[in-house]
Amino acid sequence: MTKGGIVTDNRVEAILALRGGGRSPVGRDRIALLEAVAAQGSITKAAQAVGLSYKAAWDALNAVNNLLPRPAVAAQTGGRNGGGAVVTEDGKALITAFHLLEERLSRAAALFSDGGTPIDPIVLLRSLGMKTSARNAFRCTVAEIRQGAVNAEVILHLTDAVTLAATITEESIRDLDIAPGQAVTALVKASFVMLATGEGRPAVSARNRIPGTVIHREDGPVSSEITLDIGGGKVLAAVVTRDGAEELKLQPGAPAWALFKASHVILAVD
pLDDT score for 174: 87
Residue 3 has pLDDT above 80, yes or no: no
User: Could you tell me the maximum CA-CA distance found in the chain, to the nearest angstrom?
Assistant: 59
The structural domains of the chain, ordered by start, are 1-133 (1.10.10.10), 137-187 (2.40.50.100), 190-260 (2.40.50.100)
Per-residue pLDDT band at 113 (split at 50, 70, 90): low
- pTM of the entire predicted model: 0.53
Picking from 86, 33, 46, 96, the residue whose alpha carbon sits closest to that of residue 264 is 96
Asked if 257 and 211 count as a contact pair (C-beta separation under 8 A), the reply is: yes
- Choose between 114 and 180: higher pLDDT: 180
Residues near 236 by beta carbon (within 8 Å), at least 6 away in sequence: 136, 188, 193, 210, 212, 227, 228, 230, 258
Residue 100, amino acid: L
Mean pLDDT of all residues belonging to the chain: 79
Residues near 101 by beta carbon (within 8 Å), at least 6 away in sequence: 16
Average pLDDT over residues 42-63: 87
